[in-house]
A and B are shown apart, each in its own frame.
Chain A
Amino acid sequence: DAGVIQSPRHEVTEMGQEVTLRCKPISGHDYLFWYRQTMMRGLELLIYFNNNVPIDDSGMPEDRFSAKMPNASFSTLKIQPSEPRDSAVYFCASSPGGPDTQYFGPGTRLTVL
């Protein structure tokens, strides 16, 4: 079985541009999580979905960030407009039954110039 798939793996963009990160969870998993990892703040949960419904988005840093899950096999994390401080590795993870069994994707390394 394929694991969690994220695209792109690397993204370099200029400040002010819109960035869209994509995630395909493992088939059959009901939970999907978006994380951000930086040296300063470590690994932080941004938002998670259960059965395509956003459950907790309290970790989303500000209104520039938005996430959607239109169906069970696809989710996006959008940053508009992007800022240099958004530079980080963004991980998507999915789980069949909760956060204790989640599988992480390989991440998207975002650089905002």
Chain B
Amino acid sequence: GQQLNQSPQSMFIQEGEDVSMNCTSSSIFNTWLWYKQDPGEGPVLLIALYKAGELTSNGRLTAQFGITRKDSFLNISASIPSDVGIYFCAGQLGAGGTSYGKLTFGQGTILTVHP
């Protein structure tokens, strides 16, 4: 099946630093999504990307859909303590059929921000 390789697995940074993480896949995806999960909670959608090359921002977050459609990255600028959590990428394959509803998730990046 499809696999997403997300890196890095964990990051320890100082408040105010910028953060970058990425996902790569052996398969082409039609949609890339980035989620954040806080302890004891479900993932929350941060950014959705629908077109190759698309660059989308949500506040201090910026994500891009790779040209090859096999990768995506997420940047967080000027990190703050509440950015702590686990960040997941997810890819969606198709626009039709039973695969439409399936998301494949990366393993997650654990972000720790030191004040």
- Residues of A whose CB lies within 8 Å of any CB of B are 4, 31, 33, 42-45, 48, 50, 55-56, 58, 91, 93, 98-107
A91→B99 CA distance, assembly (Å): 19
Nearest Cβ distance between residue B105 and chain A, in whole angstroms? 4
| B22 beta carbon closer than 8 Å to chain A | no
Say yes or no: A91-B92 contact (C-beta < 8 A), given A45-B103, A56-B98.
no
Enumerate chain B residues within 8 angstroms of A102, measured Cβ to Cβ.
45
Say yes or no: A107-B42 contact (C-beta < 8 A), given A100-B31, A100-B48, A100-B92.
yes
Tell whether, in the assembled complex, residue B101 and residue A55 are in contact, meaning their CB atoms are under 8 Å apart: yes
Question: Max chain A CB contacts within 10 Å: which of B102, B106, B107?
Answer: B102
Give the dominant DSSP class at B's interface: mixed
Enumerate chain B residues within 8 angstroms of A107, measured Cβ to Cβ.
40-42
Enumerate chain B residues within 8 angstroms of A43, measured Cβ to Cβ.
43, 88, 105
| B33 beta carbon closer than 8 Å to chain A | yes
Partner of B100, one of A44, A93, A98, A106: A98
Say yes or no: A104-B100 contact (C-beta < 8 A), given A42-B108, A43-B88, A99-B92.
no
Interface code B13-53, partner A: CB below 8 Å = 1, 0 otherwise? 00000000000000000010100000011111100101000
Tell whether, in the assembled complex, residue A33 and residue B42 are in contact, meaning their CB atoms are under 8 Å apart: no
Partner of B101, one of A42, A98, A106: A98
Partner of B41, one of A93, A98, A106: A106
Tell whether, in the assembled complex, residue A101 and residue B101 are in contact, meaning their CB atoms are under 8 Å apart: no
Enumerate chain B residues within 8 angstroms of A4, measured Cβ to Cβ.
42
Say yes or no: A100-B42 contact (C-beta < 8 A), given A31-B101, A56-B101.
no
Nearest Cβ distance between residue A88 and chain B, in whole angstroms? 13
